[in-house]
Amino acid sequence: MELFVYGTLMAEPVMRSVCGRPFDSMPATLHDFRRRRVSGEVYPAIIPCPGEKVDGALYCGLNATQLALLDVFEGVMYRRVVVDVKTGSGWRSAHTYVMSPAYRHALTDKPWSLKDFLSEGIREFVGGYPGFAMLGEEGDR
């Protein structure tokens, strides 16, 4: 299975912490969605937005167990959906995590960048994001 990521999961150490290993990836773009920071957090979310696009990465070769771990990690604020993303070799279907409608009020107008996250936010994220604690409750991967 394939997974389009657009935020913290683009950081290899985060993806490895959740799924237990790194994955091959390629650049990908999701059209008609918008990425913004979540209020008071260092991570983003996406919502549908015609005419906008989100650059990210496409991970290949995930299995059902790894997707289940990602579901736990992402929590109730996000829901997993299947989307079509554009890669250098054409369009591909992939899973991704979209902000659930009940939490859209928490989305700000602040943009999010991987560069800023890696230099300023990754330590705070790894030390405080509740998804890591939820994974610990699920047992060993």
Q: Which of 12, 52, 74, 137 is catalytic?
A: 74
Give one DSSP letter per residue of the chain, joined into a string.
-EEEE-SGGGSHHHHHHHHSS---EEEEEEEEEEEEEBTTSS-EEEEEEEEEEEEEEEEE---HHHHHHHHHHH-TTEEEEEEEEEETTEEEEEEEEEE-GGGGGGB-S----HHHIIIIIHHHHHHH-HHHHHHHHT---
The question of whether 74 is a catalytic residue gets the answer: yes
Catalytic site positions:
74
